[in-house]
Chains A and B, each alone.
Chain A
Amino acid sequence: MTELGQLERHHEDFTRRHVRVIVVSVEDTEDAAKTQADFPHLTVVADAGHGLSEAAGVLHPHSGPDDSDTSAPTIFLIDGHGTVRWLYRSRAADIRLSPDDMLESIDAHLAE
């Protein structure tokens, strides 16, 4: 979860680009509230019902510590019209984009 700390730290860079960062996991509102408290500038979604994760097709079966399904780390860049402009998934869960990479992708794909 540590990458959320990086996103939080760079929140002004996202705000400057008129981009809000919504972070999603399949946890319940109790855990999501803790995450929200830790990262107040991000918008935290409690997708315990999988409504968003299933729609996005990111559920990763048996990937949780208790063999449960969790979201495969994936990033979608969506413009103000609701159109997907870019998506990213790394080849391994421990390889994550840096905030700088994400900001570069925003500049590249939303400026088009």
Chain B
Amino acid sequence: MTSTPAIAARRTAGRFLAAFGLATAALGVCAYIVQMVARALFLPWYLPSQATGTLAAVLLLVALWRRATAWRVVAAFGVFAYLTQLLADGVFAPLYLAASGTLAALLLVAALWRRFTPWRMVALLPVVLLATGEWVMTGESTIAYLQSVRFYPPDRPGLRLPAYTGPVLVGESFPEFATTLSNGTPLTQRDLQGEQDTELVFFRGRW
């Protein structure tokens, strides 16, 4: 026969680690948001979330090892899927984000239905918000996926860049061109010549 303290101990086994692991994963998302808001995306943007995500994965693994629960399996799945996709340079359609967020919300609703506790009620709101945000974030990729019934290849529009093989050569003149500034003023190769040197920075765009 199992004693009451033993049941209580079993119930709480790994709870701290699981909570800490989830909090760490959330910290990665927060770090990314902070980095975006601070316009400090000069490092690989995923670095904070990659570091905290790895820590989260380790903590979740330990928690799973101590006691496997559906919650922990779902959390571990989300974190590992994210890290795997990230490390494979394949963050082209992070559908798992929306899927895991939705699953988490559904599980919380189920937990509330089984037993109402203030803690679960409080936990539900941010999880629903997170899942909603994830669906919004992955909406375009989701639609593209549903339309094409296939994932984007990693380089469309993935992160990997082809090596530069264009006509510009170091030590040679920059090729002739004609374009316009944001106010419509023409800009040509001759405008690059003068007292100032020029750093020409090509970027994807406002999206």
Which residues of A does B touch, CB under 8 Å? 1-7, 9, 14, 17-27, 29, 31-36, 43-47, 49, 51-58, 60, 62-65, 67, 70-87, 89-99, 102, 106, 110
Tell me the complex Cα distance, A5–B172, Å: 30
Chain A residues closer than 8 Å to B46, beta-carbon distance: 94
Q: Judging by beta carbons under 8 Å apart, are A33 and B203 in contact?
A: no
**14 A-B pairs whose Cβ atoms sit less than 8 Å apart in the complex:** A1-B206, A4-B39, A21-B201, A22-B199, A24-B201, A24-B203, A29-B180, A31-B206, A35-B182, A52-B179, A79-B197, A83-B174, A92-B160, A98-B43
Q: Judging by beta carbons under 8 Å apart, are B202 and A72 in contact?
A: yes
Which residues of B does A touch, CB under 8 Å? 35-36, 39-46, 89, 140, 155-157, 159-184, 187, 189-190, 192-207
Known interface pairs A3-B42, A73-B203; 7 further A-B residue pairs with C-beta atoms within 8 A, sorted by A's residue number: A3-B203, A6-B40, A19-B196, A20-B197, A35-B206, A46-B181, A65-B207
Q: Judging by beta carbons under 8 Å apart, are B198 and A78 in contact?
A: yes
Q: Judging by beta carbons under 8 Å apart, are B41 and A3 in contact?
A: yes
Chain A residues closer than 8 Å to B173, beta-carbon distance: 81-84
Chain B residues closer than 8 Å to A79, beta-carbon distance: 197-198
Chain A nearest Cβ from B132, distance in angstroms: 21
Chain A residues closer than 8 Å to B182, beta-carbon distance: 29, 32-33, 35-36, 44-46
Chain A nearest Cβ from B188, distance in angstroms: 9
Chain A nearest Cβ from B88, distance in angstroms: 12
Tell me the complex Cα distance, A56–B121, Å: 56
Partner of A84, one of B174, B181, B194: B174
Partner of B197, one of A52, A80, A87: A80
CB-based nearest A residue for B167: A57
Q: Judging by beta carbons under 8 Å apart, are A56 and B200 in contact?
A: yes
